[in-house]
Structure 1
């Protein structure tokens, strides 16, 4: 499995499915706690995209999966993760690419699209009005302090916030690095994103029962060229819904 080293010396793991194609590479960025396998491989998204003849790359963000896991919050945040994406595309010498991100990865993708004109098409899922109103994932659903506490306590039974407890259970199920994830939770992006400057046609996909993607029409309306689609599921299940996969593949394969 390939790795590359970022400009601040973090090893980032990625998987690349090559194909003979005249269409741009598809770059996939997963959500918080998950990794490329959990968000993109296991639900069959990579398989569906590669079966349409596309080149696909899915990475593990810093602090996640098989990538480096520093415990310093200064090494995290979606803005820093966005730099990782652009550095990887520079390294691979990609003149154009399609970008899809889910939840945390959606915020990373929006920040990247606001800065990188190489993006041909953009797809974001698992986020809604909070991107416009707060500048990132919806901290009103689970606040940073509650999440940090849930990730750092040695006894998960003491976590009172039910949403934070759910995140902790997910971390423990994956055997992820709690302190690395807590470092990112301390650094989540909560500043305005230059959404009006995103020129790529954009697909906004939201689960019908996803509290972290509430009022997705607010986000779609803030983007210059956006299409909104809703699919069955909540935050953890929508990304694996057949309708999600179908909408994503159809959008990214539009000329």
Structure 2
């Protein structure tokens, strides 16, 4: 069975970022979603193992302010697109040249912006992401900032209740998370034409949190779409996610 390994690299401003790796073979760099971690999005429910057993070295950083990575409270640690900067530093420090790249939700948004900033993976995987999630980030960000600002007082039935519950479960550093949310930019729809590598948009049947993944796949020059069970929270818990990724990456 594939062993899980953990290392640390240096992100923007010297922030220490945890990087979890499983498997040997072709490098596949995967970013998790907001308030989550590599453990929750990729490892716990078996999708990293599916990919590792298919012959990939699955490299899974914890984003700054998440998981086992540092969560600085200094606003200077969160300049515009700091996650893209961290991603580029990860690729450089790990010496990745011929690799595949993917992400879920905030991770998907980050890898798209990484490609637009010059990264050149062979193939790209976008999980839980639609066109509206790329171009309408300001609205999504405001929703999560509101959940942080009202944390502890949000009652069941409130649109922010699920975000509050997830932050509690994940023990999110809300000061750092709030700063991070202000650093992420919208990606205009016309920029998608510059994402030219084969790209899989994989999304839960009941996940419309970031708009239509089918619409995004159709807008990408070499996009394809795969549907898996679940909603935005649960789709990563089904092994269908990992299997869809393997089928795409091996094609």
Same structural fold, with TM-score higher than 0.5 when normalized by the shorter chain: yes
- The question of whether the paired residues in 1 share the 8 Å contact of 2:109 and 2:134 is answered with no
- Structure 1 position 250 matched with structure 2 position 239: no
Q: Alpha-carbon deviation of 1:74?
A: 4.9
TM-score, normalization by structure 2: 0.88
Q: Which residue of 1 aligns with 2:32?
A: 30
CA RMSD of superposed structures (Å) = 2.2
TM-score, normalization by structure 1: 0.87
Q: Which residue of 2 aligns with 1:5?
A: 10
Counterparts in 2 of 1:44 and 1:94: CA distance versus 1, 3 Å: same
Q: Which residue of 1 aligns with 2:64?
A: 62
CA deviation profile, 1:77-98 (whole Å, cap 9, x unmatched): 7822112111111112111210
- Structure 1 position 173 matched with structure 2 position 178: no
Distance 2:87 2:135 in 1: 25
Counterparts in 2 of 1:158 and 1:117: CA distance versus 1, 3 Å: closer
- Structure 1 position 241 matched with structure 2 position 238: yes
Aligned pairs for 1:1-255 (under 5 A) are 1-19=6-24, 21=25, 24-76=26-78, 79-131=81-133, 133-134=135-136, 136=137, 139=139, 142=140, 144=142, 146-153=143-150, 156-158=152-154, 162-192=158-188, 194-254=191-251
CA deviation profile, 1:114-165 (whole Å, cap 9, x unmatched): 233530110001111214542x4x82xx551x422321345x2345873322
Q: How many residues align?
A: 245
Deviates more, 1:71-80 or 1:112-121: 71-80
Counterparts in 2 of 1:172 and 1:188: CA distance versus 1, 3 Å: same
Counterparts in 2 of 1:77 and 1:251: CA distance versus 1, 3 Å: farther
- The question of whether the paired residues in 1 share the 8 Å contact of 2:133 and 2:210 is answered with no
- The question of whether the paired residues in 1 share the 8 Å contact of 2:81 and 2:183 is answered with no
Distance 2:235 2:23 in 1: 27
- The question of whether the paired residues in 2 share the 8 Å contact of 1:152 and 1:179 is answered with no
> 5+ unaligned residues in a row in structure 1: which ranges?
none
